[in-house]
A = this chain, B = another copy of it.
Amino acid sequence: MAELPLAPLKRIAKNTGADRVSEEAVEELRDVVEDIAEDLAKDAVTATKHAGRVTVKKEDVDLVTR
């Protein structure tokens, strides 16, 4: 956990119209987004194995995020 840095997530929030964003809000957004990224990555790895490969390719990510 906590792989993703906070600064880019704060910029994303600012870019969507947030005047101010509390530190706790940015951390919460990071945690939620990171959980989603982990779930998607797990699904992509399953798709990779299903295809008989060991290298996760773009098509695996595309398959699980249609």
Interface residues of A (CB under 8 A from B): 3-5, 8-9, 11-13, 15-22, 24-25, 27-29, 32-34, 36-38, 40-42, 44-45, 48, 54-58, 60-62, 65
Known contacts A4-B8, A21-B55; A16/B33 CB under 8 A: no
Of B12, B22, B56, which one neighbours A58 at CB under 8 angstroms? B22
Q: How many of these chains are in the complex?
A: 2
Name the residue in A4, A17, A19, A56 with the highest tally of chain B Cβ atoms < 10 Å from its Cβ.
Answer: A56
A54 to B17, CA, bound (A): 10
Known contacts A25-B61, A32-B40; A18/B5 CB under 8 A: no
Contact of B55 with A42 in the complex, beta carbons under 8 Å: no
